[in-house]
């Protein structure tokens, strides 16, 4: 949900039918329900390789190509380095995801 400079928020595209689809929030909501959070979790596990963040599309798509990310992400590159605090949070989660 975080504003990302000149880029749209991840939710703007990923709630509208992209391959990795997040649950739509109710108008005026600021958080997902428990059920929606579980559905989002299930969606995210399809784009991670448990224990291997550098092989996980959840990191590679929005990460700058120069930092090891994919060459292209339709929503732009949101992270310039693996040292970004948000990337570190994702890496910690991917490292701990159970198969």
Query: For 63-87, what is each residue's pLDDT tens digit?
Result: 999 999 989 887 778 888 999 999 9
Q: What tokens does 23 get?
A: 């649950």
Q: What is the band of 98 on the pLDDT scale with cuts at 50, 70, 90?
A: low
Task: Give the pLDDT of residue 72.
Answer: 82
Identify which of 94, 72, 74 has the alpha carbon closest to the alpha carbon of residue 82. 94
pLDDT on residue 53: 93
Alpha carbon distance 14, 9 (integer Å): 9
């Amino acid at each position: 949900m975080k504003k990302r400079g000149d880029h749209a928020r991840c939710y703007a595209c990923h709630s509208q039918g992209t391959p990795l689809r997040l649950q739509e929030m109710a108008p005026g909501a600021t958080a997902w329900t428990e059920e929606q959070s579980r559905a989002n979790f299930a969606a995210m596990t399809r784009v991670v390789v448990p224990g291997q963040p550098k092989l996980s599309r959840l990191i590679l798509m929005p990460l700058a190509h120069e930092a090891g990310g994919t060459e292209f992400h339709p929503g732009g590159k949101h992270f310039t380095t693996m040292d970004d605090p948000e990337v570190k949070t994702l890496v910690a989660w991917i490292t701990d995801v159970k198969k």
